[in-house]
A and B are shown apart, each in its own frame.
Chain A
Amino acid sequence: MLDFLKKLKKGGKHHEHDSREMRKFPPDVMKLLQQAGLDTDALIFGATGDMDIDGTYHTLWLSLDEKGIYYALGDEQVVKAKGKKRLETKYTLDSLRCTPFEDYDTLDTERNLTTAMLIGKKDGEDFPVAVFSLGLIAKFEAFADTFNALKDGKSPEEATKMPPPPGKCPKCGSPLPPGNRPCPKCASKVSTFKRLLSFFAEFKWKVALIVFSMLISTAISLIIPQISSTYLYDNVLNTAGTQPYETLLGSLISVVLSIIAIKVVNLLFTVIYQYIVAGILPWIIYDIKLKIFEAMQRLSVGFYSAKQTGSLIERVNRDSNNIYWFFVDGMPYLIISFVTVLGVVAIMFATSVKLTLMVLAAIPVVGVIYYFSQKFFRRLHHRNWVSNANLTSAVSDNVNGHRIIKAFSKENEEFDRFSDKSGKVMHSEINYANAEATIFPIIGLIVSVAFALLMAFGGKMVVDGQITLGKLMSFVVYANMLQSPISFLSWVSNWWARCADSAQRVFEIIDSKPDVFDKENPIILDKIEGNIELNELEFEYEPARPIIKKLDLKVEAGEMLGIVGKTGAGKTTIANLIARLYDAKAGCVKIDGYDVKDLKMEQLRTNIGIVSQDIYLFIGTIADNIRYANPDADFSMVVAAAKAASAHDFIMKLPDGYETRVGSGGQDLSGGERQRISIARTIIQNPKILILDEATAAMDTETERNIQNSLSQLKHGRTTIAIAHRLSTLRDADHLAVIDSGKVVEYGTFDELIRKKGEYFKLYQIQSEALKFIGIGD
């Protein structure tokens, strides 16, 4: 009996281990499947879907063993278990069906708009296997890969050795955003606040001084009414008639003087804390900005393409400013308000418990009124902001499209559009002003009525002799002092929410880990020769949208390879993978026999020069831009590189020559001119591997020929990969590769490919026909 139990335990453990390792289903589902007659121990891989084949929502447990594919359709429901606090998932199984392993040759996935499909292929025909939401595609892709691997005769262990599924947060289990960014769900606002405070740690003594001087200055402001009201009424004015005139005047002056003295001390502390705050905060903001910028430099290309440039720039500036204002304006005022409320209430209690209770009863009412009016105003304000933003975008749309507006003679319509948007802004502003004109007086009235009531009760107490007149007067002053802290406290949470939002966005960038990074102890080669080998390379920007599919390509050091192919065939992606701007999904890029992931990125990238399709010139002179890769280059090297890139002649025609300012705010250059400068920039880098990605596309044929001539001088000892649409660009290539949908479809020398009469020949014919047509072909 005991043995049996042990076995059961062991079996249970084994089972659990399996489900984690092989990515199957929850134990309860496994049990259901077992009950339905499935040999769950033999299962190799499983994927959970959310639809049946018709697209209605059900839960689909699709699994696979060496005999076939099993479709289990059922449902899962989250229920509250009886007597337990925790939620529980209940599974039901409706049907189980099997397709023999031999029914399909391969499995593949296909994307629709919001769903995707698993498709089985047999003898060139396609069969639908499963339908599921697009978000699950990665799982089903892995499923298909496993199936295909098994078909290829691999063992189950090998077949399930797949890259890990898209990340889930280890804490909360919600899917992680792409690009190794932290889980947005787990980054709560409390921890954000703690982290923000950690920036202050360096300045903790100064912060302590700030808080101390704030407390002092608040405390002092609490004392003033004691003198200006209580003492003045009860001890000075009340004695009128009983004291000689001179004594009375003297004590009056002493009261005024002491009030002035206290005010001066108060001011002194206020100045101190404001001075320190102003001294610390810019440092902290500077720190945060540096951290964001540093993180942005570290991040890989993928991060930049996923984020809009505008939102990145805004993050660095606006978010850090949001944080700044909260800490410079909000925090001190929050502390002061809090202390003031506590202090005032304490003093009020000491003066008169009855009156205080009356005021305290009114506070929630006033607070609620403030809270709702703030909310109301925020909504109006937001509406105003939106209509203003609409107006701005309409104007910028108009200005940018002015040629088209004029060409189509649409000035009047544009005017109407503008006046419509502008009218909305006007209306929202009128609404705002009207609301302000109504609500503030109402609030004022409510508060005045409350004070009148307070005076009435207080007056009665004075008449009854319960408190003195001076005490009542100071009590009213104190009650007045509560107004602004309460209004502030009623909406500070909104302010904090905005600051926390900004801080979270900032931390998101700081915490992001680059997708492409140096491994520990990367290999540093003495010298890069320039042998390139791509082995079964696979890559995708989005799951299940493969751009490169099992691509093999080899370029010997010193050789020139030309890559041709249609738009979107994956040519640029190959260049990006060689320079390791992205990491391959599977397979590898080898340089001189080493996987690029093992090489030090800095060495790799300084030895690879890319002239890409989109050219960016930095703000600075032309010479600065050419020297970018090699700041030590002297003037003659710059000129030589520019000559090799056929840029020298146009540069010399500019009045400032090589010292012409380019980049934003500088001289306008044409596309071809910018391209030539970027070629010069790469030439001066003197890389071992030169990648020209449509580098001469924006140039006329003669300029292109000139550049080719000079590049061919540079070819010696250099591996060149040239990507082009225009076949004449690849005239000098030693070998040519034709790429189509992520695969090499043809490879060989120019003569071989022409003789083969395949894809390249077709392209060649089309282009030379076109040339013949315009009369310049042979």
Chain B
Amino acid sequence: MDDTKVTQSGFLGLEFIEPGDCCFYTNPHGFIALRLNGKDYPRVKLTRAYPYTEPFAYIGIEETDDKEIGMLKNAEELPAEQFSLVRKELESRYFCPVITEVLSFKEKMGHFYFEVKIGEHKTNFAVRDISRNVRTLPDGTTLIFDMDGNRYSIPDLEKIDSKNRRKIEPFLY
């Protein structure tokens, strides 16, 4: 636990990576890489500690073998071009298709079949055990996990057409 220290109040504090000490760049294969205090990490993984409430803060930086290098308290404090690199990496890593329209919603034998539109693309998926696999986030976003482990999000349920919304709503907690 080399990045924790005891603060004056007797409580554990956390040492973050200083935005000035690090430099993100893209390696020749297109992966994000990091130079920290003169040391090069040819490929790093970025992980969100609080993916929903703090998407660009508390970013864990790990080596490819999951060993943590450190944590960035706020990626937005990085210089603009570096932040956009980090942002791009995080957004691609945490990509979650946004459902723009629910075309139909049916229940059959305990399985829930969705036919949805993601942008202009039509798709369908099935959800089992809806109480476990649908989650509403504090900001009102609804996340749906399908049987194959894919996740979909509905940022604003109000925008889904009312007929299908009324069908879905009783199953949301």
Measured CA separation A652–B63 after assembly (Å): 13
Q: How far is the CB of A634 from chain B (nearest CB, A)?
A: 10
CB–CB A644/B58 < 8 A: no
A686 to B66, CA, bound (A): 29
CB neighbours (8 Å) of A652 from chain B are 47, 49, 60, 62, 68
Binds B, one of A347-355, A654-662, A748-756: A654-662
How many whole Å from A218's CB to the nearest CB in chain B?
Answer: 39
Partner of A710, one of B1, B11, B47, B66: B1
Chain B residues with CB under 8 Å of A651's CB are 49
Contacts of B131 in A (CB 8 A): 665
**From residue 125 to 170 of chain B, which have CB atoms closer than 8 A to chain A?**
131-132, 135
Asked if B3 and A643 sit within 8 Å, CB to CB, the answer is: yes
Instruction: State the Cβ distance, B159 to closest chain A Cβ, in Å.
Output: 24
Inter-chain CA distance A717–B6, complex, in Å, is 12
B68 and A648 contacting across the interface, CB-CB below 8 Å: yes
In the complex, chain A residues whose CB is within 8 Å of the CB of B71:
639
Residue pair A718, B49 in contact (C-beta under 8 Å) = no
Q: Considering the complex, which residues of chain A in the window 650-682 have a beta carbon less than 8 Å from any beta carbon of chain B?
A: 651-653, 655-659, 661, 665-666
Q: Are B12 and A659 in contact (CB under 8 A)?
A: no
Assuming the A-B contacts A656-B51, A706-B1, A717-B10, are A636 and B58 also in contact, with contact meaning beta carbons closer than 8 angstroms in the complex? Answer: yes
Contact partners of B48 in chain A: CB under 8 A:
657
Interface range, B side = 20 to 34
B54 touching A635, Cβ below 8 Å: yes
Bound complex: CA of A655 vs CA of B1, how far in Å? 23
Residues of A contacting B117 in the complex (Cβ-Cβ under 8 angstroms)? none
Residue B172, interface by CB 8 Å: no
Complexed CA–CA distance, A733 and B29 (Å):
52
Q: Are the CB atoms of A713 and B12 closer together than 8 Å?
A: yes
Contacts of A648 in B (CB 8 A): 68
Interface residues of B in 1-21 (CB under 8 A from A): 1, 3-6, 9-14, 16
Contact A649–B10 (Cβ < 8 Å):
no
Q: How far is the CB of B139 from chain A (nearest CB, A)?
A: 12
| Complex contact B51–A657 (CB within 8 A) | yes
Q: Known contacts being A640-B12, A641-B12, A657-B51, is A649 close to B66, with CB within 8 Å?
A: yes
Task: List the A residue with the shortest CB-CB distance to B3.
Answer: A643
Q: Which of A623, A683, A713 is in CB contact (< 8 Å) with B50? A: A623
Known: A640-B4, A643-B1, A643-B12. A635 touches B132 (CB 8 A): no
The answer to whether A659 and B14 touch (CB under 8 A), given A643-B1, A706-B1, is: no
CB-CB < 8 A to A649: which residues of B? 66, 68
Task: Return chain B residues, CB-CB under 8 Å to A641.
Answer: 12
Nearest CB on B from A657, distance (A): 5
Q: How far is the CA of A426 from the CA of B121 in the complex (A)?
A: 53
Q: Tell yes or no: A263 within 8 A of B by CB.
A: no
Interchain CA distance A752-B70 in the complex, whole Å: 43
Q: Interface majority SS on A: helix, strand, loop or mixed? A: helix
A714 touches B6 (CB 8 A): yes
- Partner of A635 from the list B4, B51, B57, B62 (CB cut-off 8 Å) is B57
Asked whether any CB of chain A lies closer than 8 Å to the CB of B73, the reply is: yes
A635 near B12: Cβ-Cβ < 8 Å: no
How distant is the Cα of A653 from the Cα of B134 in the complex, in angstroms? 21
Instruction: Check B14–A636 contact: CB distance below 8 A.
Output: yes
Interface centre among B4, B12, B16, B50, by most chain A C-beta atoms within 10 angstroms, is B12
B26: CB under 8 A from chain A? no
Residue A89 is within 8 A (CB to CB) of chain B in the complex: no
B64 at the binding interface (Cβ < 8 Å): no
Known: A657-B49, A657-B51. A639 touches B10 (CB 8 A): no
How far is B7's CA from A683's CA once the two chains are assembled, in angstroms?
13
| B52 close to chain A: CB less than 8 A | yes
- Bound complex: CA of A623 vs CA of B52, how far in Å? 12
Judged by a CB distance under 8 angstroms, whether B84 is at the interface is no
A635-B54, A659-B53, A713-B12 known; A653 vs B6 contact (CB < 8 Å): no
How many Å lie between the Cα of A643 and that of B49 in the bound state?
A: 12
Judge whether B132 and A665 touch: CB under 8 Å: yes
Shortest CB-to-CB span from A704 to chain B, Å, is 14
Partner of A640, one of B14, B50, B57: B14
- Tell whether A661 pairs with B4 under 8 Å between CB atoms, given A639-B71, A648-B68, A652-B62: no
Kindly identify, within residues 378 to 437 of chain A, every residue whose CB is under 8 Å from any CB belonging to chain B. Answer: none
- Complex CA gap A643/B6 in Å reads 12
| Given A644-B12, A710-B12, 11 other A-B residues pairs in contact with their CB atoms under 8 A | A635-B50, A636-B58, A640-B12, A652-B49, A656-B52, A658-B50, A659-B51, A661-B135, A710-B4, A713-B12, A716-B10
- Subset of 26 A-B contacts with CB under 8 Å: A635-B54, A636-B16, A636-B58, A637-B11, A640-B11, A640-B12, A643-B14, A644-B1, A644-B12, A648-B68, A652-B47, A652-B62, A652-B68, A653-B66, A657-B47, A657-B60, A658-B50, A659-B50, A659-B51, A666-B132, A683-B12, A686-B10, A713-B4, A713-B5, A713-B12, A718-B10
The chain A residues found within 8 Å of chain B, CB to CB, are: 623, 635-637, 639-641, 643-644, 648-649, 651-653, 655-659, 661, 665-666, 683, 686, 706, 709-710, 713-714, 716-718
Q: Which 6 A-B pairs have the closest CB atoms?
A: A640-B14, A640-B12, A657-B49, A636-B14, A652-B60, A710-B1
